[in-house]
Amino acid sequence: MIRQKQIKDPNYSGPPVEHAAISIDTVETDKSARYFFEFRNYSYTAPTTTAPADAYRKPSQFAHFKNVTVSNIDFNRQVHDIPRAGSFIRIMQSNLLLDDVRASNISSKANGAFLQVLDTLDKGAKVEIVPNATSISITNSIFSGCTSNVGGVIYYENKEPKNAQSMTISNVQFMSNYANSSAVMYIEAAN
Amino acid sequence: MAENEAGTDNSMASISNNGDKPVVFDGVQVSKGKARTGTNSLLLQGTSAVMTNMRFSDNFATIGASTIKFEGAYPPEYTGTQPSLTITNSTFESSQYNTLGLKQIFGAYLHISYSAKAKSTDYFGPKIMV
């Protein structure tokens, strides 16, 4: 069963946003596709050939998850005998706010069962890197029973030096998570 | 964090950061982590970290450091900022095997201003400040 409600949050009180924040208030699922949510470039609008680097950047855009409970997702799908393991959220060059999240028993043979952060989504993709494009805030949340290959809950690999990054985790509990390596989180960042 | 388990290394996290900004930890409790066939709760590779009010307890590693492994990444001729680790007002207790381990240190240093209840520590490498 998949039941998902995505709304514009009328009570959003975080940083000012130029565009509507995303709030997920109900997620119930026992099966999902490779990635439940994916954000590409959710911190800026597409560049033009004539605009200076900072002209198109809108750092006040955030993907905002608040009061989310998600449990019992197995991402270990096989498609035509090819493993298609994924994560609950994958982002590239995006600003992400997670607040009051309860995530339990999320399983993946990939890296980061709950969250994958990458500098490019596809190997070999020609993506223009913009500066200051990635930030993550996780507050008031609990992650338990998440299982993956590397980084049981979070896998963060963003080695683009021009992409200034930050990640803040406050008042968060990680309990009984498992990975082949780095049971809670794996972070490889450029700065 | 409690009862997190790695099949090999790092029951808490692995952090590698090429920048000069230290990773900041404050008030984190890490207990009953298990590195099943390897080392560490936390692996810091070429990464500076500042820790305050930490509590590591009952963590397990099969080999090496049970709690923190701090690896310098830069050779001696590197003239930039070397990684450093500062731990203040924190406790390490009841961990199996060495609490802290340093490896491949080339000028990186460790600074512990206060650490209580450390049952077993093993520091090796140059330029260590305690």
Report which listed range, B10-19, B86-95, B108-117, is most confident: B10-19
| A112-to-A44, A147, A184, B109 alpha-carbon distances in Å | 25, 8, 9, 31
Tally of CA atoms within 13 A in the half-sphere of A171 that contains its CB: 6
| pLDDT tens per residue, range A95-143 | 888 888 889 988 888 899 999 998 765 555 555 555 556 889 999 999 9
pLDDT band at B46, cuts 50/70/90?
confident
Rounded distance between C-alpha atoms, residue A162 and residue A46, angstroms: 17
The ipTM of this complex is 0.82
* pTM over cut 0.90: no
Q: Answer yes or no: is pLDDT of A174 > 50.
A: yes
Cα of B16 to nearest chain A Cα, Å:
5
Percent of residues, chain B, with pLDDT higher than 70: 69
| pLDDT tens per residue, range B67-77 | 888 887 666 67
Are B17 and A189 an interchain contact pair (Cβ–Cβ within 8 Å)? Answer: yes
Which among A139, A135, A137 has a CA at the least distance from the CA of A173? A139
Are B12 and A183 an interchain contact pair (Cβ–Cβ within 8 Å)? Answer: yes
When computed from its CA atoms, the radius of gyration of chain B, rounded to whole angstroms, is 13
**Closest-approach residue (CA) in chain A for B46:** A188
Q: Determine the average pLDDT of the residues in A152-174.
A: 87
Rounded distance between C-alpha atoms, residue B94 and residue A141, angstroms: 27
| pLDDT tens per residue, range B8-45 | 888 999 998 876 788 999 999 999 998 888 887 898 88
Are A191 and B7 an interchain contact pair (Cβ–Cβ within 8 Å)? Answer: no
Rounded distance between C-alpha atoms, residue B55 and residue A87, angstroms: 30
Are B18 and A184 an interchain contact pair (Cβ–Cβ within 8 Å)? Answer: no
Are B3 and A176 an interchain contact pair (Cβ–Cβ within 8 Å)? Answer: yes
DSSP output for A120-131: -SSTT------S
Q: Determine the average pLDDT of the residues in B52-68.
A: 84
Judged by a CB distance cut-off of 8 A, whether residue B16 touches chain A is yes
pLDDT at res. B48: 86
pLDDT at res. A64: 75
| pLDDT tens per residue, range A2-31 | 333 333 344 444 544 433 344 454 444 444
- B29 or B90, higher pLDDT: B29
- B23 or B95, higher pLDDT: B23
Q: Answer yes or no: is pLDDT of A151 > 90.
A: yes
Judged by a CB distance cut-off of 8 A, whether residue B53 touches chain A is no
Rounded distance between C-alpha atoms, residue B101 and residue B123, angstroms: 6
Burial class (CB in 10 A: 0-12, 13-18, 19+), A29: middle
Q: Determine the average pLDDT of the residues in B47-55.
A: 88
Let me know how long chain B is. Answer: 130
pLDDT at res. B114: 53
Q: Answer yes or no: is pLDDT of A170 > 90.
A: yes
Q: Answer yes or no: is pLDDT of A145 > 90.
A: yes
Total CB pairs under 8 A between chain A and B: 80
Cα of A110 to nearest chain B Cα, Å:
15
Which among A39, A172, A177 has a CA at the least distance from the CA of A107? A177
- B54 or B115, higher pLDDT: B54
Are B1 and A187 an interchain contact pair (Cβ–Cβ within 8 Å)? Answer: no
Cα of B130 to nearest chain A Cα, Å:
27
Q: Answer yes or no: is pLDDT of A173 > 70.
A: yes
Q: Determine the average pLDDT of the residues in A139-153.
A: 95
Q: Determine the average pLDDT of the residues in A72-88.
A: 68
| A7-to-A22, A29, A30, A71, B92 alpha-carbon distances in Å | 7, 18, 21, 20, 45
**Closest-approach residue (CA) in chain B for A186:** B14
Count Cβ atoms below 10 Å from residue A12 Cβ, excluding itself: 17
Are A178 and B10 an interchain contact pair (Cβ–Cβ within 8 Å)? Answer: no
Report the DSSP pairing between strands A82-83 and A78-79: antiparallel
- Provide the mean pLDDT of chain B: 75
pLDDT at res. A79: 56
| pLDDT tens per residue, range A31-78 | 445 677 777 765 544 444 454 444 444 444 667 777 778 888 777 765
pLDDT at res. B3: 92
pLDDT at res. A142: 96
Let me know how long chain A is. Answer: 191
